[in-house]
Amino acid sequence: MRLVLLGAPGCGKGTHSAWITEELGIPQISTGDILRDAVAAGTDLGREAKGYMESGGLVPDDVILGLIRERLGQPDAQKGFILDGFPRTIPQAEGLQTMLSEQGLDLDHVVRIDVSREELVSRLTSRRVCPNCKAVYNMSFRPPKQDGICDACGQPVIQRADDQEETVLSRLKVYEDQTAPLVDHYQTRGVLAVVDGNQGFDETKRGIQKALGV
C-alpha cells in the first residue's frame, strides 16, 4: 500500500503511522528523518541539503524529491510506504506523482486526519518530550506517572521550543498556507479520505482502517 497521511502538526500522523507500519509491514517515511540520515551518512544529496540547512534556507524541492526517490528505492519500501509530512506543497505533490508514474505506480490512499485548530493548539502546547530517550507525553491526556519525569528513563521531560504557543500558532499558519491546498489537490484526484481526528485514539484508528479498507 502506498499511502500519504495529511494533517496539521499535532493531528496524530506519527502516532497512527506507528500502528499502520506494524499492521501492514510498510515503513513510515518522513522528510525530517530522511534529511537527518542523509546528512549523517554524507551522501551527495545529504551534503547539498546540509548546506541549505546550515545557512538557514529551505531545502529546495529537487533535493527533497531526490532524497525521497532514494528512500523509496530501498528494499523495505518495495511493498509500499507511508509518507508522513511529505508532500507539503502542490509542486512537491506533482513531483511525487511524476516519480511514481515513471515506475508505473500510483498512490493508493491519501488520508487527512482532520483536527480543529483549538484542539491542535491544546495538544501541541501540552506536549512534553524526553531529551534523553525521545519518549513523548501529553500533560492533558498522557502525562508521565511522576510529574515532569520520563517513565522510561527517569530524566526530566521538557517542552520543545516549537511547542510553545506563539510558535505553535506560527506553525499552524504555515500549514494552512502551504499544505492545506493539498486537500483540494487530492480530492480532485479522487484519492482523498477525511477522518475525524478530534475523537479518541481508538475511534480515529477505526476511521483510518475504514478509509484504508483494512
User: Which residue reads 516549537 in cell numbers?
Assistant: 162
Q: How far apart are CA 63 and CA 35, in angstroms?
A: 10
User: Which residue reads 502546547 in cell numbers?
Assistant: 125
Largest CA distance in the chain: 52
Residues with a known catalytic role: 13, 88, 127, 160, 171
Cα 111 to chain center, whole Å?
A: 12
Taken in order 88, 89, 90, 96, the sign of the CA dihedral is negative
Q: Can the peptide bond before residue 181 be classed as cis, meaning omega within 30 degrees of 0? A: no
CB atoms within 10 A of CB 100: 15
